[in-house]
Structure 1
């Protein structure tokens, strides 16, 4: 038992170890500060370096490896970078390149003693989590409940994916009717104009049609070279005044003042005309939706401490949808479809749900409080032609007690980049970002804090789903039910998501087995936006924002109450399309690998079995027998338009339980993740070295492997090497070795390093598909496995085609299984294909 605890702690420490160190100021060849390293973090077996730099490229060097990144500007600050490398002993270095200049900065390292001390400091947390996991551990020991094993991993924080952002149910609740805050006079709207004639005409048309409060528009034409703009604006102002729809005036600059100069002229006119009215800065490439104005200024009218309000947008840094700080180009009609959902989220006044406070607003569409404009009447001209000036104003407002809010209840399209060329913009961002960092040293940290907690995540997800639905058009948006672990199912999902995003623009994953029971992920070309909840009804409300969806069950292993999954998926799939993928056998039994008590395959489990491995104890203590389990999951199977299997063997198992679905079975074997080169056969007379590929848990044959290592430790007839990791409940007897994690490209070198002469796939369950078996077969070395499932199917076919190896019948006892392995491996027997 002590050995198991020690091995579990080693995995726990690898996952939770985190050491941090401050980084240096980064300087150029002349000694001028051009950035800084904010944090150096050692997490588990990776080193992460985060910082800001006015550089073209930043490169992290450590242990003979390197990672490079192009710093990107965020929220008006200095361009940020984030670099991650596998940890190796030695002193990391950061290389910077800016123009023709190249320089290096040495970074603090983490010595072995410090790492050991930090690992020891994790013991109290390990013990506390272990106490929380004790009920699940007892369930595992008593009943070998596979769901209990996954709960242990979740309690210990060993699940593969991070998911600590929580959905806010209040934002998705029906909005409460509240009286609109009173507006005296007219909202003053300042729009600087420079070039971009086509955008300008559309933006003004939408402003005129969609503004729902009295308004006065101040247009500041900043000496655009395009001769069409001024006469067109003059005509437009005259039309507005004549129609009485609003008020408008035109300021014509004799020379170009740049964005800041133009805005300051407009702000001065606005304060002169209506010093007590809110002012909205609106770019000429911002396209407002119906009823936008009342929503935008409501928080300012309701709360005297609100200095600015910024809506959500496709290009608005911290307020970007579908992914934070990433621009997404919209297609016609998408913005209005997104705002239709935003209106249903609209919070009331300044205290409503979903409003998020941030260190700055975004000036493309930003409402400003007259109370703060009275003390901060304009933008600082030190920022030249633009970029960073609104951050400066917002930070000054914060010093005066002001708050800056983002509004999920309004979405405004921003086409962006129309006023400056990309090269000019990059230079402005770099220079002005450095000035912001100099004036407000805490600003970059505040932005990183916002990025880490993302208080807008619920609104971002909701509006992102609305975007996904609009982008898909009449096609269905795929919604995958998946687990939170690594493995073949996750690798297959990653590949599918990439293809779906490429074709449809977006895909959704609903994960189980993490910190929260449900995690919703929106995948797009812009990135991944995710948040979790324990509320099943909230998941249904959120995903109902996709009017056309395809529900795909992938894997529910790790959920604390998986018998509820079919009901949720049937509710999500009502009137939609449902697909079931057989990555494991959870629909057949709580023992998703179909192993019974004793940890071995005993054939298909049937209702009425007394084998407790095929029963589940629910969180409320009630026991679910196999008949009830298969009835619940059978309803999902019956509703599925198709059942995808990845081997003939897994299809036969599904049809063995539900024969009526045979005509809906679709065989789709996985494609290999990467090509594995063929290896030279071992020299004649070489000492036998049995290699095992993959991470080996109980159903993957951990107990068989442990027994095999003990047998070999006694008789020394062969060596044993695990290229992967072993479940901490088991250990290998010396001299057997565990290499640890590996990459596919490393298999040839590892096989040569350890002198591997054959491969063993020790899984004791009928796998649905085995990537590791196919990778081993690709090397050309002999491959041995038990004659079960997809792995037996693959090896039998290879042997029939002349490959060395054998599919070995699985004996009823573990000791006999080890004897059978040694009999085949050591005597080089070529097994004949098993006739069925």
Structure 2
């Protein structure tokens, strides 16, 4: 499957219609977004399928065109990336293939990508690097059969005595000259000549498998045993029994087996067809165990292991959970659902101190675990015991580090002989608490001075069950953003955020009831732990959902869950790839909701209320104010549709910042507006949203605090009416930058409903047009009232800027008392330096015309479609290509236009050059105020044709690098004109 996540929703009018991008009073529902994603997914899927079909038919170039289109529409789809990389390799675009293979390997640890990167490097004559990469790949993966001969060649060129590869079946194969030795963790396991060596029992527990010829390693040695035997798996209970899947990503062709609870072995040869995996080329194999294969009655949790003795993800597993999730059959007491409801709270009285321990389960990640433990040891107050549970880490250096801390008396160390998962590890640590409060802490966190004291202060009352701090990754307690991924702050950033949280803390924020705590850093009172019991390791296996279940059980006992807004803890979060984590999360969420019906609704209601939103907004304000550093600020008001307006605003922001201002932008939302600092990193301050007009005083107070000295209007469509008078509330001047004709045309683009330029009639003509075709203002405002309001706002503005002289002349006709200042958005002289002039098309090849951008109706969609139909009907030697997209690509494609799909700004010049275009064409049928597409075409070296209207015509006429034709020229004449001027030459 492939997929896209775009939330944009352009319409064929191409205007700044509020329906196109939302705004004040216009709600884009989740259903709207889902429907648009479905449309985009379908487009991407069609492009992917057409690419595959073309390649299978031997039309490689066509296949690559379609796959590149699919890649641009579904940029994160690994299946598209993989297919396109292979196609590039087949036509000799090796560097393009290598770039994608490296991306797949870095993101997914993909075995095939690791080995094919080697192939690419060989073809690029990077032999030394290819040998190094092959050695790395062989140390982690079983070799691809097709690369055996290449491995021999590369080992020889690298000066190695040979190469080796190991298998999950328990053997290592060696191709080498002379005598070799096989060693497991330094202990000899075999010696002799090249061939296959069976590994001794227990080899799976080793960390390092070496193959040496004398003192020299063969290529691929030492082999990382734990990487080789990494298993992706899941087991779940259903109403029919148990089902699951597993595979070894380092050796997908290996047929795995499952060891059952009674030590029977079950071979699993069949490939699974329904595993939701983000990993390309994943090959999980499925198994099922019907009820009659399971122990009779209520047998408790069953342990299922892979062939190397490790529990499958999701095991141990209680078959009775199948009755719970399927809602069929009688349940034992331990599994009876308890509905989420408003349980009575315990009395809120001060409680005495019972002491405190910090419990830290550890599994892998030496660097992260070291950083976490060092931050804890540096901040823990006297008398606080640190209990570390080593869940059978596969990293010897991490185990040694923990041993050293234990020997020095800095931690109490508990060590598991085999990996048991987070819930069991947390439980083993909490059992040692002995009546003390517990702070459960992940090993991928960073804490700051005073964090324990502040958390314990929140535990000081009898009704408290758990307390959770703020973090970058803590679900409903995340900051800055709750619903999107946040950057992980470094040590300095963590300390700054922690200090800021302390400074803004209020007791009211600490008394907000949470539906659940979060186990990444959760303080638990001794009484709550004693009455609620430990985590349900029998249900949640390796983890995800166990702390939510614990909190819900605690709520049923009358305990409450609170935030600690004055504590900030950095959290790296899961960095693992693969399908097991995602599958386990889905399985455990299903169990959690079956155990506690109503939990999802409770969390959704909390997110909707967002009682911590005000605190997050205060944090955002303080952080932006800190960035100001005493400077004055500029405020740029824009719509929420991006495009050319968004580009201009960003360039203006950068210019103001260079002049010493803090430059902020104001965008509309369905309820009001949001304040942003475009120069900040992603999600720097996403909570500065204000409901208007109710929160207008708060918005004004925020802008006064940020010392706004001037406002620049770029677009007010979609904004609440009070934004138009914001300058009065702030007592500051404002300027206007005109981007389109919304100031006098309610349809904005000067087109009627048939897509024709209206000719800019008098007011009566405008009113007749609006009466017939409607407008896009989103306001109930007659044309005379619109013009009157615009006149007043222009008169009160300091400067009214326009991008071009054509725009100034056009606006002056409607507002003769206003002085419009042309401010060009690009330097045409620089752009034109790339255009060498007409060279003519080589005889025998069709003339290629390139159009650039997102093509709406006023941007010339109808013109391009008519041209394509004319070219096809008359069999003319002309090809049309759109480097961009439209709301209806399919119709254009069916008419013969190549449509590349959406692009990113840094891709567009390369895309144009790939088309080997002869000229550029701007088919806009309305007067543009500027035209970034024209600049792009000139920058790519093409002469440009356009119609005699707007800034595009003005600029082409001045350039002497193109041609201007009358607006409305019949497409037959237009195509003939193009062929006469730029057609093939002999």
TM range (shorter): 0.5 to 0.7
Please name the residue that 1:412 is paired with: 567
Structure 2 Cα separation of the partners of residues 666 and 406 of structure 1:
57
The structure having more radius of gyration, on CA atoms, is 2
**Structure 2 residue aligned with 1:786, among 926, 947, 972?**
947
1:774 shift after superposition: 1.8
Structure 2 Cα separation of the partners of residues 195 and 756 of structure 1:
55
Please name the residue that 1:584 is paired with: 740
Structure 2 Cα separation of the partners of residues 399 and 563 of structure 1:
42
1:675 shift after superposition: 12
Please name the residue that 1:255 is paired with: 409
Tell me how large the CA RMSD over aligned residues is: 6.7
Structure 2 residue runs of 5 or longer lacking an equivalent are: 1-11, 13-19, 21-31, 46-69, 87-99, 114-133, 143-249, 254-270, 275-344, 361-369, 389-405, 416-424, 594-599
Tell me the alpha carbon deviations over residues 404-430 of structure 1, each in whole angstroms, 9 at most, x when there is no partner: 99867724244789xxxxxxx99xx87
Structure 2 Cα separation of the partners of residues 580 and 270 of structure 1:
65
Structure 1 Cα separation of the partners of residues 480 and 942 of structure 2:
47
Q: Does 1:185 align with 2:352?
A: yes
Q: Is the partner of 2:785 in helix, strand or coil?
A: helix
Q: Is the partner of 1:669 in helix, strand or coil?
A: coil
1:785 shift after superposition: 0.9
Please name the residue that 2:365 is paired with: none
Q: Does 1:694 align with 2:853?
A: yes
Structure 2 Cα separation of the partners of residues 510 and 703 of structure 1:
34
1:638 shift after superposition: 5.6
Cα pair 1:327 1:526 within 8 Å, conserved: no
Please name the residue that 1:442 is paired with: 588
1:503 shift after superposition: 11
Structure 2 Cα separation of the partners of residues 576 and 179 of structure 1:
53
Cα pair 1:585 1:592 within 8 Å, conserved: yes
1:668 shift after superposition: 3.8
Q: Is the partner of 1:373 in helix, strand or coil?
A: helix
Structure 2 Cα separation of the partners of residues 706 and 466 of structure 1:
52
Cα pair 1:69 1:81 within 8 Å, conserved: no
Please name the residue that 1:758 is paired with: 919
Q: Cα 1:347–1:702, aligned 2, differ >3 Å: closer, same or farther?
A: same
Tell me the alpha carbon deviations over residues 572-624 of structure 1, each in whole angstroms, 9 at most, x when there is no partner: x7246755443333344322223356544455676565444568979999841
**Structure 2 residue aligned with 1:463, among 612, 619, 642?**
619
Cα pair 1:468 1:477 within 8 Å, conserved: no
Q: Is the partner of 1:537 in helix, strand or coil?
A: coil
Q: Cα 1:703–1:637, aligned 2, differ >3 Å: closer, same or farther?
A: same
Tell me the alpha carbon deviations over residues 141-185 of structure 1, each in whole angstroms, 9 at most, x when there is no partner: xxxxxxxxxxxxxxxxxxxxxxxxxxxxxxxxxxxxx99943233
Structure 2 Cα separation of the partners of residues 618 and 769 of structure 1:
22
Please name the residue that 2:929 is paired with: 768
Q: Cα 1:770–1:392, aligned 2, differ >3 Å: closer, same or farther?
A: closer
When the two structures are aligned, how many residues end up with a matched partner? 632
Tell me the alpha carbon deviations over residues 176-233 of structure 1, each in whole angstroms, 9 at most, x when there is no partner: xx999432335856579999999899969xx9xxxxxxxxx7444899xxxxxxxxxx
**Structure 2 residue aligned with 1:15, among 35, 40, 43?**
40
Structure 1 Cα separation of the partners of residues 588 and 630 of structure 2:
47
1:493 shift after superposition: 5.5
Q: Is the partner of 2:921 in helix, strand or coil?
A: strand
**Structure 1 residue aligned with 2:826, among 648, 669, 676?**
669
1:763 shift after superposition: 0.8
Q: Cα 1:806–1:493, aligned 2, differ >3 Å: closer, same or farther?
A: same
Please name the residue that 1:777 is paired with: 938
1:690 shift after superposition: 4.1
TM score, norm. by length of structure 2: 0.49
Structure 1 Cα separation of the partners of residues 855 and 651 of structure 2:
23
Q: Is the partner of 1:567 in helix, strand or coil?
A: helix
Structure 2 Cα separation of the partners of residues 296 and 109 of structure 1:
49
Q: Cα 1:640–1:407, aligned 2, differ >3 Å: closer, same or farther?
A: farther
Q: Is the partner of 2:506 in helix, strand or coil?
A: helix
Cα pair 2:634 2:661 within 8 Å, conserved: no
Tell me the alpha carbon deviations over residues 505-547 of structure 1, each in whole angstroms, 9 at most, x when there is no partner: 99866545x8877677676425477589994336747755453
Structure 2 Cα separation of the partners of residues 661 and 295 of structure 1:
63
1:798 shift after superposition: 1.8
Q: Is the partner of 1:774 in helix, strand or coil?
A: helix
1:645-724 pair list within 5 angstroms: 645-654=802-811, 662=819, 666-669=823-826, 681-683=840-842, 688-709=847-868, 711-712=870-871, 715=874, 719=878, 721-723=880-882, 724=884
Q: Cα 1:372–1:792, aligned 2, differ >3 Å: closer, same or farther?
A: same
TM score, norm. by length of structure 1: 0.56
1:779 shift after superposition: 4.1
**Structure 2 residue aligned with 1:286, among 448, 452, 457?**
448
Tell me the alpha carbon deviations over residues 60-79 of structure 1, each in whole angstroms, 9 at most, x when there is no partner: 6233263666999xxxxxx9
Cα pair 1:507 1:522 within 8 Å, conserved: yes
Q: Cα 1:400–1:586, aligned 2, differ >3 Å: closer, same or farther?
A: same
Cα pair 1:762 1:786 within 8 Å, conserved: yes
Please name the residue that 1:473 is paired with: 629
Q: Is the partner of 2:958 in helix, strand or coil?
A: helix
Structure 1 Cα separation of the partners of residues 833 and 547 of structure 2:
53
Structure 1 Cα separation of the partners of residues 754 and 769 of structure 2:
9
